[in-house]
Chains A and B, each alone.
Chain A
Amino acid sequence: MIKTGTLESSDCMIELRESNERKIEIESIVFEQFGDQIYDVLKTTLDEYHVKAVFLRCIDKGALDYTIKARLKAALELWGVDHG
Chain B
Amino acid sequence: MARSYLFIPGNTPSMLQHANVFDSDAVIIDLEDSVSLQKKHEARRLVFEYLTKYYDSSIEIYIRINDPSTPFFEADVALLDGLPINGYVLPKATKDTVLLLSRMTKKPLIAIIESAYSVVTLEDIAKIESIKGLLLGAEDYTTDMNIERTIDGEELIYVRSRLAIYAKAYNKEAIDTPFTMKDDEEGLKKDILRAKALGLHSKSVIHPNHVTLVNQLMSPSESLVLWATRVLKKKAMTSKGAFSLDGKMVDEPIIKKAQKIIDEVKKYS
A-B contacts, CB under 8 A, total: 45
Number of interface residues of A (CB under 8 A): 18
Say whether chain B's binding surface is mostly helix, strand, loop, or mixed. helix
Residue B70 at the A interface, CB < 8 A? Answer: no
Residue A54 at the B interface, CB < 8 A? Answer: no
Residues of A within 8 A of B50 (CB): 66-67, 70
Residues of A within 8 A of B53 (CB): 65-66
CB contacts under 8 Å to A, within B11-54, are 12-14, 17, 41-42, 45-46, 48-50, 52-54
Q: Decide: B46 and A77 in contact? CB cutoff 8 A.
A: no
For A73, give its contact among B12, B13, B49 (CB under 8 Å). Answer: B49
In the complex, residue of chain B having the shortest beta-carbon distance to the beta carbon of A68: B49
A9 to B13, CA, bound (A): 8
Interface range on chain B (Cβ under 8 Å from partner): 10 to 19
Q: What are 21 inter-chain pairs, A to B, with CB distance below 8 A?
A: A8-B14, A9-B14, A10-B17, A11-B12, A11-B14, A63-B13, A64-B13, A65-B53, A66-B46, A66-B49, A66-B52, A66-B53, A66-B54, A67-B13, A69-B49, A71-B42, A73-B45, A74-B45, A77-B41, A77-B45, A78-B41
For the A-B complex with A66-B52, A77-B45 known, give 5 more contacts whose Cβ atoms are closer than 8 Å: A10-B14, A65-B53, A66-B50, A70-B45, A78-B41
Question: Which B residues form the contact surface with A (CB < 8 A)?
Answer: 12-14, 17, 41-42, 45-46, 48-50, 52-54
